A and B are shown apart, each in its own frame.
Chain A
Amino acid sequence: MASRSGVFSSSVGTKIVIGITGFALFLYLLIHIAGNLMVFFGPAFFNRYAYVLESNPLLPLVELGLLAVFLIHVYKTLRMFLSNQDARPKAYAVKRPAGNPSRKTFASSTMIVSGLWLLVFIVIHVKAFRYGTEYEWPAGGRDLYRQEMENLSNPLMVAFYILSMTVVGSHLFHGIASAVQSLGLNHPKWTPRVLLAGKIVAALIAVGFMIIAAWVYMNQPGTGRVHV
């Protein structure tokens, strides 16, 4: 009988941990994008929303939890990737995808690449927004609206963000469906629908974030660009 600590390090347990943490990160992204959409309502609304969120005393705890989930996801996937490499030391001279009903896609074959990209992106992103220059907002809290405008005023930065959102979409395109399977959920009627929905949501999240970044760039205050 495997010890309880060993349960999460077996090949099945690893999948479960990666699935749970991945799914939690996906749920976080849903909240994240919902919050970001507030930027369309202007600085007063956006900063007010941010202030309410940041004045919640539980926030540091939630942040720590999120960080832990993120780090576990990264650590477990890297460990799994490396041991999976060992499982096939000699590569095939010719290897082709087997086709239907396989779920193999470009996205599923590049999870480690998209994942590592996102790791770098998240470090840059969190540094710019969480630990960037702070401006006071008269009605309370930070002027996050101004911070976002400034962070996304450089076209190269905007391009990097938009590219990274494609990577997010790709990671989720396989990731959401994969988490469902990793958690052992399978229903003849519902699973195909859930998998399809996962792909649609992945695309929506990616496109949503891209629109936000592009909108912020095109609505820079005092640049003569359109301001709606």
Chain B
Amino acid sequence: MRLTLKIWRQAGPTVAGRLVEYIEDHVSPDMSFLEMLDVVNEGLIKKGEDAIAFDSDCREGICGMCSLVVNGVPHGPDRGTTVCQLHMRRFKDGDTITIEPWRAAAFPVVKDLVVDRGAFDRIIAAGGYVSFNCGGAPDGNAIPIPKDIADVAMDSAACIGCGACVAACKNASAHLFMSAKISQLALLPQGQPERYRRVTAMVAQADAEGFGSCSNEGECEAVCPKEIPISNIARMTREYVKAALTASK
């Protein structure tokens, strides 16, 4: 396959970037999208040029590191798929593919296609945790949890924190990300002690980081590699209202 690639190149956080065009002649349809970029990089390195920086780690759709906007859609055209699991057979010979980083004020570009997602870590640190005493591992079945509740909590817990929801949202909102963690912990007994402190603190942190609000379009759900639904965002709103109504101070 022969492809024309338009890739965002930016030398550092403070310098201006631009789309640079590359022609790649030897792309196999069996390559993953990131392997295709590896091939492009090998060519660049051979020519003595700077390789394209992009994030990846597991390359099997579970870590949430890969983060490319492919032809205007975060993680590319496949539903429920990270870009590391996207394959070149999804494209045609002669295609032009535009590759950009996540775009959000809260996700500044580090280099080329790599952005700093530390804002997500700070949101989690603000409240996305549970506290318990150390000691021997507790009996997994000691606390009964109804199956339907456990299922919804598990679906919310599937979030890998990649940030595609932010990248897709026209407001660069982190509501789907936050709501997944808030839902997961609000549904389970282990999440109860910090339940209302959590939602208030996480929303405040996300706002402080400069993420936008939510217009209920649901682009986030459509690009989420774990297909986390926006019903979580509705649950986050309910949690937020309950927290406001029951605030002790």
Contact present for A93 and B203 (CB under 8 Å): no
Please provide the chain B residues from 94 to 126 with a CB less than 8 Å away from any CB of chain A in the complex: 98, 100, 103-106
Report how far A17 CA is from B78 CA in the complex, Å.
Answer: 36
Count contacts between A and B, CB distance < 8 Å: 152
A112 to chain B, nearest CB (A): 10
**Which residue of chain A has the shortest Cβ distance to B244 in the bound complex?**
A7
Interface status of A88 (Cβ within 8 A of chain B): yes
Given contacts A101-B218, A178-B215, contact A92 B72 (CB under 8 A): yes
Q: Of B74, B172, B210, B235, which contacts A184 at CB under 8 A?
A: B235
Interface status of A15 (Cβ within 8 A of chain B): yes
Interface status of A99 (Cβ within 8 A of chain B): yes
B72 to chain A, nearest CB (A): 4
Interface status of A62 (Cβ within 8 A of chain B): no
Given contacts A1-B200, A101-B222, contact A186 B234 (CB under 8 A): yes
Inter-chain contacts of B19 with A (CB < 8 A): 93
Chain B interface residue count, CB cutoff 8 Å, equals 55
Q: Of B197, B221, B231, which contacts A1 at CB under 8 A?
A: B197
B4 to chain A, nearest CB (A): 13
Contact present for B218 and A104 (CB under 8 Å): yes
Contact present for B237 and A184 (CB under 8 Å): yes
Given contacts A92-B100, A104-B217, contact A15 B207 (CB under 8 A): no
Contact present for A184 and B211 (CB under 8 Å): no
Mostly, the B contact residues are mixed
B178 to chain A, nearest CB (A): 9
Contact present for A93 and B171 (CB under 8 Å): no
Contact present for A88 and B172 (CB under 8 Å): yes
Given contacts A16-B237, A88-B104, A94-B71, contact A10 B216 (CB under 8 A): no
Contact present for A181 and B234 (CB under 8 Å): yes
Interface status of B219 (Cβ within 8 A of chain A): yes
Inter-chain contacts of B69 with A (CB < 8 A): 92, 94-95
Inter-chain contacts of A186 with B (CB < 8 A): 231, 234-235
Contact present for B213 and A1 (CB under 8 Å): no
**Which residue of chain B has the shortest Cβ distance to A104 in the bound complex?**
B217
Given contacts A92-B69, A98-B219, A99-B222, contact A182 B244 (CB under 8 A): no
Contact present for A178 and B235 (CB under 8 Å): no
Contact flags A165-193 to B (C-beta < 8 A → 1, else 0): 00000000010011001111110100100
Inter-chain contacts of A94 with B (CB < 8 A): 69, 71-72, 98, 100
Of A79-87, A122-130, A142-150, A215-223, the stretch lying at the interface with chain B is A79-87
B78 to chain A, nearest CB (A): 11
Inter-chain contacts of A174 with B (CB < 8 A): 216
Interface range for A = 35 or more
Given contacts A16-B237, A181-B230, contact A11 B213 (CB under 8 A): yes
Contact flags A1-13 to B (C-beta < 8 A → 1, else 0): 1101011001111
Report how far A84 CA is from B172 CA in the complex, Å.
Answer: 7
Contact present for A109 and B170 (CB under 8 Å): yes
Q: Of B171, B223, B229, which contacts A84 at CB under 8 A?
A: B171
Given contacts A96-B72, A109-B170, contact A83 B230 (CB under 8 A): no
B35 to chain A, nearest CB (A): 22
Please provide the chain B residues from 152 to 172 with a CB less than 8 Å away from any CB of chain A in the complex: 168, 170-172
Inter-chain contacts of B171 with A (CB < 8 A): 84, 87-88
Inter-chain contacts of A104 with B (CB < 8 A): 217-219
Interface status of B66 (Cβ within 8 A of chain A): no
Interface status of A102 (Cβ within 8 A of chain B): yes
Please provide the chain B residues from 10 to 68 with a CB less than 8 Å away from any CB of chain A in the complex: 19
Contact present for A102 and B216 (CB under 8 Å): no
Given contacts A90-B103, A93-B19, contact A181 B73 (CB under 8 A): no
Q: Kindly list 14 other residue pairs between chains A and B, CB separation below 8 angstroms, not including A15-B216, A88-B105, A92-B100.
A: A1-B249, A2-B200, A7-B244, A10-B203, A16-B240, A83-B213, A87-B105, A89-B105, A91-B103, A94-B72, A97-B219, A100-B79, A101-B218, A188-B231
Give A contacts to B, CB under 8 Å: 1-2, 4, 6-7, 10-16, 80, 83-84, 86-104, 108-109, 111, 174, 177-178, 181-186, 188, 191
7 A-B Cβ contacts within 8 A? A12-B236, A15-B214, A96-B71, A98-B222, A101-B221, A109-B170, A182-B214
Which 4 pairs, one residue from A and one from B, show the smallest C-beta to C-beta distance? A87-B212, A184-B237, A96-B72, A186-B234
